[in-house]
Every structure is written in C-alpha cells, then in structure tokens.
Amino acid sequence: NAGVTQNPKFQVLKTGQSMTLQCAQDMNHNSMYWYRQDPGMGLRLIYYSASEGTTDKGEVPNGYNVSRLNKREFSLRLESAAPSQTSVYFCASVQAMGNTEAFFGQGTRLTVV
C-alpha cells in the first residue's frame, strides 16, 4: 500500500497561473482533506470531503476549489495563484468521519512568484 500520494512534490507558479494538486489514497478511506501549512500557523483546513460526492469548505477556502473525482482521488485547484498561496499543502485521508487516524501525503511545496 502506498497510503496517500500527492503530486507534484514541488511547484513554482507565476502570479495568475492555475494548477491542480493531485491526491490519491489506496486505503479505501471515505473522508479526505486538504490542509495548508505555513510557518507558525499550524495546519489549516482548506476543504474536505466527508464521502464520495460531497465537499465542504474548511477554515481557509478562498482562492481554492476541489473535486472529489472518486473514492480514491481528491484534487485541489488554484484558479489564479497569488503569492499568499505560497505554502506547503498536505492531503490527508480518514477511514470515516469518526474518531480514527488521519494519514497524510508527503506534501506539495508550492511557491507563487
């Protein structure tokens, strides 16, 4: 099992460009999350998907969109990147919305210049 896989690992964008961050899990988990991590700010929830076919906003959704393509895949899209979106992005999956461990991907380091 690969667990949670993110692509790409590193990306540099120019302001205004768009891109999609990919996330896939092979653990048959129902719930998936996107977080961003900034120095001194911890992990902040951008969007989540409690189950296939549903998505909801988290704490910091502005400037992002998501797609739960199927049970395995949950993508995050930046339509018009801004320097404030420079961050490390983590995808995570959980078996269900109950009290179980969240497994994280290896992260995507995004720089917007």
Partner 1 sequence: GENVEQHPSTLSVQEGDSAVIKCTYSDSASNYFPWYKQELGKRPQLIIDIRSNVGEKKDQRIAVTLNKTAKHFSLHITETQPEDSAVYFCAAKYSTLTFGKGTMLLVSP
Establish if 97 lies at the interface with partner 1 (CB under 8 A). yes
User: Does residue 74 belong to the site contacting partner 1 (CB under 8 A)?
Assistant: no
If one counts every other C-beta atom within 10 angstroms of the C-beta of residue 11, the result is: 17
Which is nearer to partner 1, 63 or 107 (by Cβ)? 107
| 27 is a site residue for partner 1 (CB under 8 A) | no
Encoded amino acid at 106, one letter? Q
Instruction: Decide if 90 contacts 37 (C-beta within 8 A).
Output: yes
The separation between the first and the last C-alpha atoms of the chain, rounded to the nearest angstrom, is 36
Q: Under rule CB under 8 A, which residues in 77-96 are in contact with partner 1?
A: 90, 92, 94
Give the integer Cα–Cα distance in Å for 99 and 104. Answer: 16
**Footprint on this chain of partner 1 (rule: CB under 8 A):** 33, 35, 40-45, 48, 50, 58-59, 90, 92, 94, 97-99, 101-102, 104-107
